Chain A
Amino acid sequence: MKILVAVKQVAALEEDFEFRADGRDVDGDFLVMDLNEWDDYSLEEAVKIKEACGGAVEIVAVSVGPPTVDEALRKCLAKGADRAVRIWDEAMRGSDSIAVARILAAAARAEAPDLLFAGVQSSDQAVAATGIATAGFLGWPHAAVVSQFTYTPGAATAVLRRELEGGLLHELEIRTPAVLTIQLGINTPRYASLRSIKQAAAKPIELRTLADLSLNAAEVGEAGSSARVRRMYVPDKGRAELIEGSAAEQAKRLAAIIRESTGAA
């Protein structure tokens, strides 16, 4: 059996950053990259399934992005992925969630996994769409915001709980192959050992191009996206009135605010 884990290398902004000349994105020089937090959990969930059945499961981490994404994929290899696949073509630059989903769906058709895991959302753009859009392109059953997952390799269905607003859970049974978007807290992701990090550094990362996946340039990148970014800007910063001074002075003011708000003398 095979589990495909779709991961994303997310970008955080440096404290001081500048926009690109066209104003439609942040200048790449000001981005700090890392593996998306949610993806850590979906990878761990796949590794747990593999361990529970004694290992007859192949875990393939897949990501869409330029060579810098190899770093995120190596992290996945170090944490238990058997293979890593990076898909890239310059035409894919600027892909939104829907365009990335089209690419992932093509990769999933080629890999034919039994399950496809993705994070609920990414910590940078938080669109919460890539996994379920991938299921849409594939025509596969799908469930979002999965906080508990039970599956025995080879079974025709899996049982899961969706985490709804307010912490309410909804349990359902779903046919496989299926796409599941995995929520934080579903498990406790492991740390990679030094040994596994070293081993991962030596493993190959398989590359796939547009042509490998039988996609054309118009289906990906900005052309294949469901929305067009007009501009990005820094919003008017919130109204927080900063309390200045030493820690003692700040705490004194905080104590006064607490007394005032709670009506305590």
Chain B
Amino acid sequence: MSGVLVIAEQRRGELRPVSLELLGAAQALGGLPVAVAVLAPNPARFVPALSVPGVAEVITVELAISEFDPDTFESAVGALIRARAPAVVLMAHSVDSFGYAAALAARHGYGFATDVFKVERTGGELIATRGGYGQKVNVEVDFPGRDTVILALRANVFKPPEGTAAPVVSAFEAPAVESRSLGREYIEPPGGDDVDMSTAEFILSIGRGIGEEAKVAQFRELAQALGATLGCSRPIADAGWLPKSRQVGQSGKTASACKLYVAMGVSGAIQHLAGMKHVATIVAVNTDAEASIFSVAKYGIVGDIFEIAEELRRHF
């Protein structure tokens, strides 16, 4: 085939939005034919959503289990790659792909790059770009001598195709596999208090820069005065200074309604930025002028968060 094989991602019966973004990215690969595979019980139900312009084929792979399982996915996707011999395999840079993509690439000697946010193919040469050194630099990589390259793409970067199309639909039979792990159940993230970050329009968020738990109170009071919902980055929730329900960013609650995000002392780990980049107005306050958060913020203040917080409080 030597085309592009896209691995769509579903969770609990819902296609994850990144699946369509992968299809958008596939179209930028110099006109290679694009096939998208979906692995799930009763996979045909996902065919309509994946039938978008640019997709030549939807491959349904029937699995006995609906949840992600490393051995099952490694075996099924591995068999699919061997059967189709794609030049490029696109998957999401997601927790599920963390669980098998590297093992697959390692075992079969495929070219491999993760968290890719730019991909191009010129004159048959594939070039992927990712971040390095805490996203301070961009790293351009290629894959000399590799017939197949697996790229795990960053979510919320590539534009999903619009419209509908009528691709060929075919079924692929995954080889039987005896999995060495057994899924038990999903557990909803623990609450802690009754806040719903997904409906908050204005979030005032605190990060590692606050330094100690005793300082949380100052920002709680400030958030209240501003009419903001108090949120936090991962280290604050991990330390137990605020409940996990207040954590925003990719591994925290999706702050989908957020329009104004004031981040104080949040340096901006990649997962945090990825989870917040949809916000229209981001204001970052940080002592470190080089903090990654300034690269996604609309406004930046390089300064002491306590001093700024104190001064800001006077205005409300």
User: Among the listed stretches A43-51, A80-88, A165-173, A199-207, which one makes contact with chain B, having 4 or more residues with CB under 8 Å of it?
Assistant: A165-173
Q: Decide: B314 and A232 in contact? CB cutoff 8 A.
A: no
A210 at the interface (CB under 8 A from B): no
Q: Decide: B142 and A227 in contact? CB cutoff 8 A.
A: yes
In the bound assembly, the distance between CA atoms of A165 and B95 in angstroms comes to 7
Q: Decide: B141 and A228 in contact? CB cutoff 8 A.
A: yes
Contact of B140 among A135, A143, A159, A232 (CB under 8 A): A232
Contacts of A171 in B (CB 8 A): 183-187
B300 at the interface (CB under 8 A from A): yes
A26 at the interface (CB under 8 A from B): yes
In the bound assembly, the distance between CA atoms of A261 and B282 in angstroms comes to 10
Summarize B's interface: helix, strand, loop or mixed. mixed
Contacts of A161 in B (CB 8 A): 187
User: Among the listed stretches B30-38, B49-57, B130-138, B211-219, which one makes contact with chain A, having 4 or more residues with CB under 8 Å of it?
Assistant: B130-138
Contact of B94 among A165, A233, A235 (CB under 8 A): A165
Residue among A231, A239, A258 with the highest chain B CB neighbour number at 10 A: A258
A265 at the interface (CB under 8 A from B): no
In the bound assembly, the distance between CA atoms of A164 and B98 in angstroms comes to 11
Q: Decide: A240 and B300 in contact? CB cutoff 8 A.
A: yes
User: Among the listed stretches B82-90, B161-169, B288-296, which one makes contact with chain A, having 4 or more residues with CB under 8 Å of it?
Assistant: B288-296
Q: Decide: A136 and B128 in contact? CB cutoff 8 A.
A: no
B15 at the interface (CB under 8 A from A): no
A215 at the interface (CB under 8 A from B): no
A12 at the interface (CB under 8 A from B): yes
| Closest chain A residue to B235, Cβ basis | A184
In the bound assembly, the distance between CA atoms of A123 and B311 in angstroms comes to 34
B19 at the interface (CB under 8 A from A): no
In the bound assembly, the distance between CA atoms of A258 and B283 in angstroms comes to 9
A22 at the interface (CB under 8 A from B): no
Contacts of B227 in A (CB 8 A): 262, 264
Q: Decide: A136 and B295 in contact? CB cutoff 8 A.
A: no
Q: Decide: A142 and B311 in contact? CB cutoff 8 A.
A: no
A181 at the interface (CB under 8 A from B): yes
Contacts of B285 in A (CB 8 A): 254
B6 at the interface (CB under 8 A from A): no
Given known contacts A125-B133, A264-B227, is B182 in contact with A228 (CB within 8 Å)? Answer: no
B114 at the interface (CB under 8 A from A): yes
In the bound assembly, the distance between CA atoms of A15 and B234 in angstroms comes to 24
Residue among A164, A167, A235 with the highest chain B CB neighbour number at 10 A: A167
In the bound assembly, the distance between CA atoms of A175 and B70 in angstroms comes to 12
B104 at the interface (CB under 8 A from A): yes
Q: Decide: B111 and A247 in contact? CB cutoff 8 A.
A: no
In the bound assembly, the distance between CA atoms of A172 and B295 in angstroms comes to 38
Q: Decide: B299 and A145 in contact? CB cutoff 8 A.
A: no
Contacts of B301 in A (CB 8 A): 242-243, 250, 254
| Closest chain A residue to B309, Cβ basis | A251
Q: Decide: B98 and A238 in contact? CB cutoff 8 A.
A: no
Per-position binary interface string of chain B over residues 10-25, scored 1 when its CB falls under 8 Å from any chain A CB and 0 otherwise: 0100000000000000
Q: Decide: A170 and B106 in contact? CB cutoff 8 A.
A: no
In the bound assembly, the distance between CA atoms of A185 and B312 in angstroms comes to 32
A218 at the interface (CB under 8 A from B): no
Q: Decide: A248 and B238 in contact? CB cutoff 8 A.
A: no
Contacts of A168 in B (CB 8 A): 186-189
In the bound assembly, the distance between CA atoms of A120 and B280 in angstroms comes to 30
Q: Decide: A26 and B133 in contact? CB cutoff 8 A.
A: yes
User: For window 112-152 of chain B, which residues contact chain A by CB distance below 8 Å?
Assistant: 112-115, 127-128, 131-144, 146
Contacts of A136 in B (CB 8 A): 74, 102-107
Q: Decide: B202 and A133 in contact? CB cutoff 8 A.
A: no
Contacts of B109 in A (CB 8 A): 226
B270 at the interface (CB under 8 A from A): yes
Q: Decide: B115 and A126 in contact? CB cutoff 8 A.
A: yes
User: For window 95-110 of chain A, which residues contact chain B by CB distance below 8 Å?
Assistant: 97-98, 101-102
Q: Give the Cβ gap from A109 to chain B, nearest Cβ, in Å.
A: 14
Q: Decide: A101 and B180 in contact? CB cutoff 8 A.
A: no
Contacts of A169 in B (CB 8 A): 186-189
A257 at the interface (CB under 8 A from B): yes
In the bound assembly, the distance between CA atoms of A12 and B134 in angstroms comes to 7
Q: Decide: B138 and A232 in contact? CB cutoff 8 A.
A: yes
Contacts of B142 in A (CB 8 A): 227-228, 230
Q: Decide: A167 and B253 in contact? CB cutoff 8 A.
A: yes
Contact of A133 among B68, B105, B186 (CB under 8 A): B105
Q: Decide: B302 and A242 in contact? CB cutoff 8 A.
A: yes
Contacts of B253 in A (CB 8 A): 166-167
Residues of A in contact with B (beta carbons under 8 Å apart): 11-13, 15, 26, 97-98, 101-102, 120, 123-137, 141-145, 159, 161-175, 178, 181, 184-185, 188, 226-235, 237-243, 247-248, 250-252, 254-255, 257-258, 261-262, 264
Besides the known contacts A143-B181, A172-B184, A230-B127, 8 further A-B residue pairs in the complex with CB atoms under 8 A apart = A124-B134, A134-B106, A141-B181, A171-B186, A230-B141, A233-B138, A238-B297, A242-B300
